[in-house]
A and B are shown apart, each in its own frame.
Chain A
């Protein structure tokens, strides 16, 4: 096991898959000559050339459609959208073509397409560079959605997504590319469905994904000092969500909080709460709760930006509230 930064784990996955399979290509804004805004495609252009590592015109609808068309031919494109906010421009291609063509053609065609994109607040990038959009992608039939919380997942998910014959959206975070963590030395494929217990506990379940897993882990550490053992479940797959994993943990702890950086409406939290209601309502000792952003676009000023999204302190106080100790 070597320590590796998140961006480098992604780069390694690309490199291994592109070396193995000449049909794997990548495209997006500044992915080639510049090596990617977050260095995730660093060096690929030099190794694999301009036919396979493509700096596209700045037009998300264009390169999502180009990748969709190429994927019908059996090419495996990995598209990087520099900021997930710009994915709105590519929605028709992703939702109406890539996600539906297998179904519409009765399985004659497939789109083995991977889209990677970071969302989330970074450092004063404001409303059009900071949105969380996983809630938009996760409800679309035919599109898999995963979201890595650490470099090992980032590496293993990209490798699995490239080999998957479905379109896969990988939701990353702008502030996580320098996060270091252990990545296996040998080849590793992370499942594209399921969830994992990031920290076992008995008193309450904290459901997180991507960056909020870290808030949950820090909150659990803090709560442990107060004698509260929180279980942290990493929902690394958002479509499909792991109903069994959600049910298993809530049936054990009998309390649940979903922690998300996005604003609450129609999001991961509301969906997980619905699943809890459907699967294990009678196991609950308290109503499930959410820790989410307020319902505003992300503001520019540093103080405001910090305030609109949750922190681990919000998680701690919500846990105390649910446990009746607030």
Chain B
């Protein structure tokens, strides 16, 4: 199965497949990909400073992420692996709120309850990965089944990597999807290190597994954002028309193992007469300043209120939780200014 490819490593489109989008559309896609890279850099910095416990960068995966996002619509549900947290921003989730979750700040929509990579944004239909990776594949199948029950034309889209692909959850999620022909798109992104992937998944072509489940499968050059867009668009159209799921294997690093998705798109922009490097530098400096401004505010804001540890265990608290919350208040009064505050 040959991977679908549209942009050459230098960014030249295949003549028969150039999407020929308006330059605004291409620069907007480029902006999203560059911003993702800025986030990687700043989050890496925060991690080294001990302000964020864990962050998985999206570098090298930008085509998998943004090629898919531009093909999906807002009402489709997204299930992430660890590298796709910034996808929620592309869908309109507020940057400050996103950073608040990573920093565990008081204004976090997650009340400081979630691990930094376990980012959920219900308002934009973005659901977190679970630490036992692979669960998101089943959740995507289940939500897609729910969409059939609701009678919507939406679909579920899930990203996963080699660790999740090796889990039992990957098997049962794909098996259910194949049996019930759910409107879902399963996007496997390889790690970019073929030897490491082979050590986890064996020497076969991952997309070939689709055949065994009766699921249509395609391979795509994962450094080529146009190719990812084309593959995902086609898969979604089939899902919406009731033709069931698709498994996409996105090859990270491209078939030659060297390609960079951002550089490739910049090659394309340059060929269209844009100053790609100038665009990138402007995005980088503006976005980094915006992020740093929010971080300063959030660090000043402080951590979540202590009693919020009891929030959202159940829809309404049990009497034990209410007692424990009251106990915290008593404790706090006794040790005011001491151990807890």
Residue ranges of A at the interface with B (Cβ–Cβ < 8 Å): 22-23, 25, 51-52, 54, 56-57, 59, 61-63, 65-75, 92-93, 96-97, 101-110, 141-142, 144, 164-166, 193, 240, 243-244
Contacts and interface: CB of A to CB of B under 8 A. Distances in A.
Nearest to B139: A69
B175 interface: yes
A240 B315 contact: no
B314 A61 contact: no
Interface string B109-138: 111011100101111000110111001001
A73 B319 contact: no
B135 A72 contact: no
Given A63-B176, A65-B172, A105-B109, 7 more contacts: A61-B138, A61-B169, A65-B173, A69-B144, A72-B143, A109-B127, A164-B315
7 contacts: A70-B149, A71-B142, A97-B139, A105-B120, A105-B122, A108-B122, A142-B313
> Which of B77, B128, B131, B142 has the most CB atoms of chain A within a 10 A radius of its CB?
B142
A166 B169 CA distance: 23
Contact of B109 (A65, A70, A71, A108): A108
A166 B319 contact: no
A22 B179 CA distance: 22
B84 interface: no
Nearest to B177: A66
B94 interface: no
Contacts, number: 149
B145 A57 contact: no
Interface string B153-191: 000100000000000110011011001100000000000
A136 B140 CA distance: 27
A49 B126 CA distance: 30
A66 B150 contact: no
Contact of B114 (A59, A106, A110): A106
Interface of B: 77, 108-111, 113-115, 118, 120-123, 127-128, 130-132, 135, 138-150, 156, 168-169, 172-173, 175-176, 179-180, 311-315, 318-320
B146 A69 contact: yes
A67 to B, nearest CB: 6
Contacts of B156: 69
A73 B77 contact: yes
Nearest to B309: A103
A75 B111 CA distance: 25
A108 B143 contact: no
B312 A102 contact: yes
A96 B118 CA distance: 12
Contact of A51 (B77, B131, B139, B149): B149
A108 B314 contact: no
A66 B313 contact: no
A106 B113 CA distance: 7
Contacts of B311: 103, 106-107
A104 B128 contact: yes
B142 A70 contact: yes
Given A62-B172, A105-B120, A109-B120, A96 B145 contact: no
A164 B315 CA distance: 8
Nearest to A167: B314
A69 B141 contact: yes
A63 B179 CA distance: 12
Contacts of B118: 104
Nearest to A67: B142
B113 A96 contact: no
Contacts of B114: 104-106
Nearest to B127: A72
A287 B271 CA distance: 86
Nearest to A107: B312
Nearest to A63: B176
